Structure 1
Amino acid sequence: MVRVEANRRDFLRWLAAAGAGLATAGIAPAVFAQEAAAAGSDVVVVLGATVVDGTDGPPRPDWAVVLVGDRIAWTGPAAHLPSPTGVRTIDGRGRYLVPGLWDLHTHGLDLERVFPPLYLANGVTGIREMWGYTENRAARDKIVRGELAGPRVVMGSSIVDGPVSMLQPPVTKVATAAEARAAVRTAVAEGADFVKVYSYLGAEAFAAIADECRHAGLPFAGHWPYRVPQPAASDAGQHSLEHLFGVPLYTSAHRDEFLRTLAATPFDPANPRSFFVLARELDRRATETYSPWRAQQFFARLVGNGTRLTPTMVVNKVMCSPAGTFAHDPRLKYIPKDVRDNWAEQIRIRTPITPEEIAQQDAYFHAQVELAGAAHRAGVPLLAGTDCLNPYVFPGFSLHDELEHLVEAGLSPRRALQVATRDAAAFLGRSATAGTIAAGKVADLVLLDADPLADIGAIRRIDTVVAAGRVFGRAALDRMLADVAAATSAGANARSVGLPVHSCC
């Protein structure tokens, strides 16, 4: 096909005529083009890349994707595109274009000089922030207003836990159904996208949260509340269960014995973490008595309810490894000193020490990976999340690690990529606007130097990131990383507002 030179205005006219994809997305192509021309919206063409669009369709070599402002306006064979002048063109030849990634379990967005740029530099264009408080909401709002470069943010409520809690403020502690309902109403008033439930929440309060969330039309998600049977939490509508907590117990031949031990053990206000340590040890022991029959029953319950599992294998790996394993990770140069110090102290008291403990925890981690794979094969939807702000879990970088763990669990590279793109958007109710590369969807994209379907490790080889239509080429991404490293090297602390370094798990 002979390609005709087109200036910017002519190119938008062509787009209006060619915009069947926009019309399918419910956007009038002519109106879209007119408004884009009037507003002076940026027009960007990614030309010649192999598009891996996040669907089950085949890769599309030598494809073109046209972006106007923060939307994808057209996709199709590059040969069908008029040769544009007056618009920005990104050379995609020999590269692979994928949807922007989502990390669906994060903390610490309010570390504004560190976390938001690290997400973007690693192709993470959307996150689910799992602990909502004033400073996090302020950071989110800066991103929305364009004052801070960062990912799209789905914001949780304050964490809602029982009157005994492992957490320090700003946790919300509730003891009664009335207090639990009030916590949901506060979450609605604060603009939370979901309610985060936690480990020591009582059964009565949990039931009240589930009911109040139904009335408010607000999802709830989080840890397994130990005083609620996990299948019952799924039945009640808990949207996702984090970290595989309790999943080994419910897939064990000795399930009832383990659950009786937990039920007979009170939460200790003087040592609130002791119950969590017991539950984790029982989870470890439960992986040694895995029952395919129990697993089939349990996973079928989750599938029937649409409950997702967020394995967060990357943080599980850290907690199952000896203290020195990550002490020299080169990515530590991006982490403020107060966070590094906090990580070193947590690791010192929480990770295995003796050879026997190290062997046990290594086996435990690999059993968790196998358990995630078994859940996937049973049809349980998985989410890709990292739990960053926990020790040696790095914003952005660690999502790449998590995708590699998903492949280790038995997912194909395509399925692992879909978990962090298409499936993430579906979970968040955003399938119509995000998660795949199609006309009418948001312009969140990552251009890679290698094929992620051949090796999921290619997700690290980033040439360009597009976040809400803003283009960050490799030089800009390198400057972003250098600025973060310089800020932390100069002694920038995690927070200037006096909040402690807190992670939730």
Structure 2
Amino acid sequence: MPKENNLIPGLAEMHAHVPPVDNLEPMKEVLTLFLANGITTIRGMLGHPRHLELRDKIRSGEITGPRFYTTGPSFNGNSVKTPAQCEALVREHKKAGYDYLKLHPGLTKENFAAMAKTAKEVNIPFVGHVSFDVGVWQAIDAGYSSIDHLDGFVEGMVPGIEQMNEQQTGLFGMFIADKVDQNQMPKLMKGLKEKNIWVVPTQALAERWFSSIDPEQLNSAPEMKYMSREVRDNWVKSKKNLQANAQYDPAKMKQFIELRRKLINECQKNGVGLLLRCDAPQVFNVPGFSTHHELKYMVDSGLTPYEALRTGTVNVATYLNKSAQSGTIKTGNVSDLVLLNGNPLTDISQTTQIAGVMIGNLWLSKEYIDRELKNLEK
């Protein structure tokens, strides 16, 4: 019995990484991996001056790729040391034409405040990590456009966090999930909702990098053939190093992952906007392929397949203020479409059964996609 065909809007990946290098060729490889997987919009989260050129070439049709939004180079503890430097860099990124400011860890309260104040003045949104010294409550008050990785959520619900340091808590609070006061969760959801802060979970990081799964099992996945051996070896090493950490406890890590799933579900139930994302290429997350893993993790967190699909379609259009022209299939909308050999509303994994992708006026057939992927095998 033949599979049914279904058409869905093109998916978005709102925490992607395009190589921050001077050469456009490695960037094109990543763009192809996304398009081949039905990802027709991406937000690059580690900016580089040549990304502005890449964005222009995509818009003009000179380079085939997803619709591209880019952050500037990172704001972090090394790139900005004073409030004055923060203010100057915000203005520089705005003038250059970046779509967003990207925040990484290491910002002090004072430098973060200067960044946020200047960003509001020049009207450029800021997104990404929440620095440990800043904390999620100051981050919410400052009005992030999106908080990525659920960063700061766990730490913000731990009593006595002020007496802890970042090494004790681990990345995204992974080592202190058992200390969380879940009575703080409604307050967290209320703050995010009232400030209209969108949440970009990147749950694939937790499920694949932080979990106790054998790294060699993940390394043998079919999509790993698109990453170089050096990259894959580094991914294996990174996961093994984490599992060898004296603070790493598989049972507690499972608790941490389940807490993240609950946070994602609470966002959905409380009307906090969720955006599809997985932080690829990152540990065992291959661009494009990992976005489909992320959809499954959204369903594992309690969302229905329909709700999960909205995080990469309707929600993204709303976030980008493009609801009138994208995110749904209707006459007059942009023709970013994915033809599937299956129904993702009954089985979310069917989003991987791609028969073709439409990006604007360009149709990418199954044969074309297979040929392009073959060329990218390492």
* TM-score (structure 1 length as normaliser): 0.69
Structure 1 contact 250–295 (Cα < 8 Å) conserved: no
The aligned counterpart of 1:342 is: 234
Normalized per residue, which structure has more strand? 1
Counterpart mapping for 1:283-298 below 5 A: 283-298=173-188
Counterpart mapping for 1:95-244 below 5 A: 95-109=5-19, 111-163=26-78, 173-244=79-150
Q: Which amino acid aligns with 2:16?
A: T
The 1:380/1:286 distance shift into structure 2, 3 A limit, reads farther
Once structures 1 and 2 are overlaid, which stretch shifts more, 322-331 or 386-395?
322-331
CA displacement, residues 129-169 of structure 1 (integer Å, 9 cap, x when unaligned): 00111343343333223232211111001110123xxxxxx
Q: Percent identity?
A: 30
The aligned counterpart of 1:52 is: none
Structure 2 contact 326–333 (Cα < 8 Å) conserved: yes
The 1:280/1:434 distance shift into structure 2, 3 A limit, reads same
Q: Does 1:256 align with 2:159?
A: yes
CA displacement, residues 6-54 of structure 1 (integer Å, 9 cap, x when unaligned): xxxxxxxxxxxxxxxxxxxxxxxxxxxxxxxxxxxxxxxxxxxxxxxxx
The 1:261/1:356 distance shift into structure 2, 3 A limit, reads closer
Q: What SS does structure 1 have at the residue aligned with 2:367?
A: helix
Give the structure with higher Rg (CA).
1
Counterpart mapping for 1:409-424 below 5 A: 409-424=301-316
CA displacement, residues 43-85 of structure 1 (integer Å, 9 cap, x when unaligned): xxxxxxxxxxxxxxxxxxxxxxxxxxxxxxxxxxxxxxxxxxx
- 1:319 paired residue among 200, 209, 212: 209
Q: Which amino acid aligns with 1:314?
A: A
CA displacement, residues 178-237 of structure 1 (integer Å, 9 cap, x when unaligned): 100111111112210010112111111111111111121111111012222312211211
Structure 2 contact 178–255 (Cα < 8 Å) conserved: no
- 1:379 paired residue among 247, 250, 271: 271
Q: Does 1:474 align with 2:366?
A: yes
Deviation of residue 299 (structure 1)? 1.1
Q: Which amino acid aligns with 1:362?
A: K
Structure 2 contact 41–67 (Cα < 8 Å) conserved: yes
Normalized per residue, which structure has more helix? 2
Q: Does 1:301 align with 2:200?
A: no
- 1:280 paired residue among 150, 160, 170: 170
Distance 2:248 2:239 in 1: 18
Q: Which amino acid aligns with 1:258?
A: I
Q: What SS does structure 2 have at the residue aligned with 1:114?
A: helix
Q: Which amino acid aligns with 1:147?
A: E
Deviation of residue 311 (structure 1)? 1.1
Distance 2:231 2:53 in 1: 21
Q: Which amino acid aligns with 1:238?
A: Y
The 1:146/1:298 distance shift into structure 2, 3 A limit, reads same
The 1:238/1:282 distance shift into structure 2, 3 A limit, reads closer
Q: Between Structure 1 and Structure 2, how many residues are aligned? A: 369
Distance 2:171 2:68 in 1: 34
Distance 2:88 2:291 in 1: 34
Q: Which amino acid aligns with 1:370?
A: K
The aligned counterpart of 1:483 is: 375
Q: What SS does structure 2 have at the residue aligned with 1:452?
A: coil
Distance 1:196 1:360 in 2: 30
Q: Which amino acid aligns with 1:382?
A: L
Distance 1:353 1:285 in 2: 11
Distance 1:359 1:188 in 2: 45
The aligned counterpart of 2:295 is: 403
The 1:360/1:237 distance shift into structure 2, 3 A limit, reads same
Q: Which amino acid aligns with 1:280?
A: G
Q: Which amino acid aligns with 1:320?
A: F
Structure 2 contact 40–65 (Cα < 8 Å) conserved: yes
Structure 2 contact 209–284 (Cα < 8 Å) conserved: no
